[in-house]
Amino acid sequence: MNTDREILKRVYTAKTKEELMDAYNEWAKDYDTDLSEFGYEAPLESVSKFLKYVSPDQNVIDAGCGTGLVGSMLKEHGFRGIHGLDYSVEMLQVAEGKSVYEKLYHADLTLPLEIEADIYDALICVGTFTYGHVSADAFDSLVKIVKPGGHIVFTVREGAYDDMNYRKKMVQMEHDSLWELKELTDAVYFSGEEITCKVCVYKVL
């Protein structure tokens, strides 16, 4: 177990995709336990928002699904046929073992997704928009696979919201009529570290 939080430092300071994936692949077996210890509240906060806009009978994808923390919560609320997407093979193997997802994609959000456009009714993405992970351009990939009228719920870690130009990109996409902001609220990210995040809800146009 990474009780010294060294693993968090590694994933947030990774300089290359290879460094990031090495860290996540190594972390996969202890990921759920460690995040519980760190007080990882972002999934609960995000799923709560998701349930306000999305019903269990809709076609949804969990982008950056990791080991399936969010997918497991959605299943508890009656969602079935959930799809998941992540770049870490080891994380996906853990997620597959939970029998939560109908389909899992091994994909890189920093590249165009090989997924049919306008296929999902809703998308949730927790813990991905933060330091050392994906750029703000990944928002374009997410919007493309959600149907017009569908909803996207995602978190953005404090600090990274401006430092990584996420806020700027979000505003620009609204200006370009790609999506419409429904909610933007502050929430606990890691309670053990006293870190917060933005929980963002957009409607795809």
Q: Of 8-12, 106-110, 165-169, which range is least confident?
A: 8-12
- Which CATH number fits the domain that encloses residue 77? 3.40.50.150
The per-residue pLDDT for range 174-187, each reduced to its tens digit, is 999 999 999 999 99
**179 in a domain, yes or no?**
yes
The mean pLDDT of 75-104, rounded to a whole number, is 96
Q: Which of 37, 110, 118, 102 is nearest to 68 (CA)?
A: 102
- Rounded to whole angstroms, what are the CA distances from 168 to 95, 137, 145, 192? 32, 11, 21, 29
**42 in a domain, yes or no?**
yes
**Total domains present in the chain:** 1
pLDDT beyond 70 at 8: no
The mean pLDDT of 129-156, rounded to a whole number, is 94
**23 in a domain, yes or no?**
yes
DSSP string, 105-118: EE--TTS---S-TT
CA distance 129 to 139: 9
**96 in a domain, yes or no?**
yes
Q: Which of 170, 129, 122, 125 is nearest to 146 (CA)?
A: 122
Q: What percent of the chain has pLDDT over 70?
A: 91
Q: Which residue has the higher pLDDT, 5 or 177?
A: 177
**194 in a domain, yes or no?**
yes
**195 in a domain, yes or no?**
yes
Q: Which residue has the higher pLDDT, 62 or 88?
A: 62
Segments forming the whole domain that contains residue 17: 6-204
CA distance 174 to 17: 29
β-pair partners for 105:
85
Q: What is the pLDDT of residue 123?
A: 99
Q: Of 91-100, 138-147, 161-170, 191-200, which range is least confident?
A: 191-200
The mean pLDDT of 197-201, rounded to a whole number, is 97
| Residue 52 CB neighbour total at 10 angstroms | 11
CA distance 39 to 191: 5
Q: What is the pLDDT of residue 7?
A: 66
CA distance 204 to 113: 17
What SS3 state is found at 76? helix
**1 in a domain, yes or no?**
no
Q: What is the pLDDT of residue 194?
A: 78
**76: buried, middle or exposed (CB in 10 Å: 19+, 13-18, 0-12)?**
exposed
pLDDT beyond 90 at 86: yes
**187 in a domain, yes or no?**
yes
Q: Which residue has the higher pLDDT, 177 or 28?
A: 177
